[in-house]
Chains A and B, each alone.
Chain A
Amino acid sequence: MGWLVFALVMGIVLGVAVRLPQTVMRFLDRSLTVSLVVMLTALGIEVAQNPKLEQALSSHGLSVATLLISVSAVSIAWGWLLERGWALLWRER
């Protein structure tokens, strides 16, 4: 967690302090996609090595699926209500 906070703070400080050229910004934007693929592939490798998930799904599949779907659906509905109903954060001023 410490390294993540450090990377984020360094990025924000650099972004605030230095006006980077468009080519660098475009490179950063594209590097997000490549890094995401690397990170998710690594996550897949880790999951394949870890028996925890398979164990939970085989013994408590129904509970896991029900809890996952309900919690995700309510969170999505809450965010949607905030944005659409109250037009809170993205309204034009």
Chain B
Amino acid sequence: MGAAVAGALTLLSFTAGVLLARLNFLPTLVIDSADGIGFAALCWMVFAVGVIIGSQKDVWHKALQEGWRLLLLPVGTLLLSALTAGLVGKLLGMPVTVGAAIGSACGWYSLSGVAVAKIWGAEIGLVAFAVNFLRELLAFCLIPLLAKFSRLATIALCGATAADTTLPVIAKSTDPKGALVGLISGGLITALVPLTIALLSWLTK
């Protein structure tokens, strides 16, 4: 499948979902179980990616050979996202720590929306939710195109989601090594995001 076709398919599927729900084309049962259906599809995709990664024995060796350098991608992505959002947030009139907290979620919208709202208020929580949700959506659309130019840039854009929702798309658009690096990078960012938000909340006080 071509990169442009894959990107368009991603955007079309999402848009179709929004339109089908808005225009009431779907039975209530389907709408009510959309969450479950989506999660079941995601579990299947993650399982399939696991089989693909597991069956490529040399990929593990090659990726782990990089040692500590493998950490540069997730740690740099998290720090730069936080720093950039902090500075841009300041220009937009937010305290640096609030902007940094929004950026440091790296696409993990469910956590950032709730955590940021709890610490800095509902309004900022909404911004955190929207920025991180749209980052995931943007990643879905750009992965197939971006993977042609740089696999690490693709994984960096996905942030925390590289370990779950965007992992299958990374696997499909790159190769098993790309999927493994995405899994490691996303997993590490996922572990670090709550700590970073907690640290920024502590700095605010």
Contacts and interface: CB of A to CB of B under 8 A. Distances in A.
Tell whether A and B belong to one assembly. Answer: yes
Interface of A: 1, 3-4, 7-17, 19-20, 25, 28-29, 31-33, 35-49, 52-53, 55-57, 59-60, 62-64, 66-68, 70-72, 74-80, 82-84, 88-90, 93
Contact of A14 (B54, B56, B127): B54
A72 B46 contact: no
B113 A52 contact: yes
Contacts of B97: none
B31 A49 contact: yes
Contacts of A89: 63, 66, 69-70, 73, 151-152, 177, 181
11 contacts: A4-B164, A8-B50, A11-B46, A12-B53, A15-B56, A45-B20, A46-B17, A63-B92, A67-B102, A74-B81, A79-B153
Contacts, number: 272
B14 A29 contact: no
B198 interface: no
Given A9-B50, A76-B157, A36 B31 contact: no
A68 to B, nearest CB: 5
Interface residues of B, number: 93
Given A40-B140, A63-B92, 9 more contacts: A4-B43, A8-B47, A13-B54, A36-B9, A41-B16, A45-B26, A48-B19, A71-B88, A75-B153
Given A3-B39, A8-B46, A71 B17 contact: no
Given A9-B50, A49-B31, A42 B44 contact: no
Contacts of B21: 44-45, 48-49
A33 B80 CA distance: 32
Contacts of A71: 81, 84-85, 88, 103, 131, 135
Contacts of A1: 164
Contact of A64 (B69, B70, B72, B130): B130
B204 interface: no
Contacts of A20: 51, 55
Contact of A36 (B55, B123, B155, B168): B168
A16 B87 CA distance: 45
Contacts of B10: 36, 40
Interface of B: 1, 9-10, 13-22, 26, 30-31, 34-35, 37-39, 41-57, 62-63, 65-66, 69-70, 72-73, 76-77, 80-81, 84-85, 88-89, 91-92, 94, 99, 102-103, 106, 113, 123, 126-127, 129-131, 133-135, 138, 140, 146, 149-157, 159, 164-165, 168-169, 171-172, 177, 181, 183
Contacts of B151: 79, 83, 89-90
A79 B102 contact: no
